[in-house]
Amino acid sequence: MTRTEVLQKAINTYGVTSQENMAIEEMSELTKAILKHRRAFGAAEKRAANENVVEEIADVQIMLDQMRMIYGDTSEQEEFKVKRLEKRMMAENER
C-alpha cells in the first residue's frame, strides 16, 4: 500500500472526527516535546529531547497529511503565506 492509501484507509477506518481528534492530540504532544527540549540540560538530555521532538514532528506531519486529504490542498495558502513572510523579512532588513 502507498502512503496515501494507508492514510486514506486510516480516515475510512477510524472516521474524520477520530482523525481530527488524533491530529489535535499529536499537535499537543509536539508542543509538550518542544517545551521539554527547551528545558533540557546537558548533552544526553538535549539529545533525547531532540529525538522526541523529531518523532512528534513525524506524527504531526502524518496527521497534517490526513487533514489535507479531508479538507483539501493547502499549496495555494502556503505559497501566499511564505511570500508574505518573505516580504515581512525584507521589510525588517530595510530598517
| Location of C-alpha cell 509536539 | 30
1-20 tens-digit pLDDT: 999 999 999 999 999 999 99
**Hey, where are the domains in the chain?**
3-94
15-60 tens-digit pLDDT: 999 999 999 999 999 999 999 999 999 999 999 999 999 999 999 9
CA distance 39 to 36: 5
* Fold classification of 3-94 (topology level): Helix Hairpins (1.10.287)
> If DSSP states are collapsed to H, E and C, what string results for the chain?
CCHHHHHHHHHHHHCHHHHHHHHHHHHHHHHHHHHHHHHCCCHHHHHHHHHHHHHHHHHHHHHHHHHHHHHCCCHHHHHHHHHHHHHHHHHHHHC
